[in-house]
């Protein structure tokens, strides 16, 4: 049976090579919810109503300092990124200068910086979600099968958290809690590294899930 991931990632030969970039939007504000992927998507959709229809667009959530009370403190360097094919830059560039409301928190977006995707042999996604897989062993096997669908060769692993357990993550969507895991991919060729950054793994990429970014090499 063909999975929904397979149907969404049928890659005609060479077409995946369409250039993608990250638009990095500076943030002005004080706080955001620590788990703000769903709220951020909703705020963006008020300015780009059909954003959810674009499966080739991914939204990377903002980073900040956690206050252990469900919020993150934004800094002068805080930003969030939207990963898009270059042909869709005008679609998301309209967010420049806009005010977004996420629950009780208000932020303003600055003028975005364009960042090209760079091939790196070591990538990480903060959280990957795959429907029906909530245990680390079966989840990792499902993630490997998705790599095969994409034709990507890499070694996948789930890093450990501070307690030595597989790094399990949760995201809230309305009244529901979705479980995922942090995933690392190593030994990627340049071509496969770019392909993984473009297509990601799992679902909910509009909420920051399954989006891979380069990290420093392990020593």
CATH number of the structural domain 118-214: 3.30.70
pLDDT at 218: 47
Are domains 15-116 and 118-214 of this chain identical in fold?
A: yes
List average pLDDT for each run of 10 residues in the chain, which is 219 residues long.
46 61 95 92 95 95 80 90 96 96 93 95 96 95 96 96 91 91 97 96 95 74
pLDDT at 219: 36
> Is domain 15-116 in CATH 3.30.70.1890, yes or no?
yes
The residues near 103 (Cβ < 8 Å, ≥ 6 apart) are 33, 39
Strand 65-66 and strand 113-116: pairing?
unpaired
pLDDT at 215: 86
pLDDT at 17: 58
pLDDT at 5: 54
pLDDT at 39: 94
Domain ranges of the chain: 15-116, 118-214
pLDDT at 216: 67
């Amino acid at each position: 049976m063909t999975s929904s991931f397979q149907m969404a990632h049928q890659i005609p030969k060479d077409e995946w090579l369409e250039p993608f970039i990250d638009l990095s939007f500076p943030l002005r504000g004080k706080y955001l919810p620590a788990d703000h992927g769903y709220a951020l998507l909703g705020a963006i959709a008020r300015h780009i109503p059909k954003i959810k229809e674009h499966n080739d667009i991914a939204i990377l959530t903002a980073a900040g300092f956690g206050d252990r009370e469900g919020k993150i403190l934004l800094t002068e360097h805080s930003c969030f990124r939207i990963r898009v094919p270059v042909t869709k830059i005008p679609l998301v560039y309209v967010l420049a200068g806009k005010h977004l409301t996420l629950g009780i928190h208000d932020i303003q977006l600055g003028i975005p910086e364009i960042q090209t995707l760079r091939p790196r042999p070591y990538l990480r996604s903060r959280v990957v979600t795959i429907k029906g897989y909530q245990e680390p062993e079966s989840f990792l096997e499902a993630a490997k099968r998705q790599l095969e669908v994409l034709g990507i060769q890499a070694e996948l692993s789930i890093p450990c958290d501070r307690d030595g357990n597989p790094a399990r993550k949760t995201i809230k969507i309305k009244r529901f809690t979705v479980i995922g895991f942090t995933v690392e991919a190593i030994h990627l060729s340049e071509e496969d590294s770019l392909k993984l950054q473009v297509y990601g793994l799992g679902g909910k990429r509009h909420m920051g899930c399954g989006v891979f970014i380069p990290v420093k090499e392990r020593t």
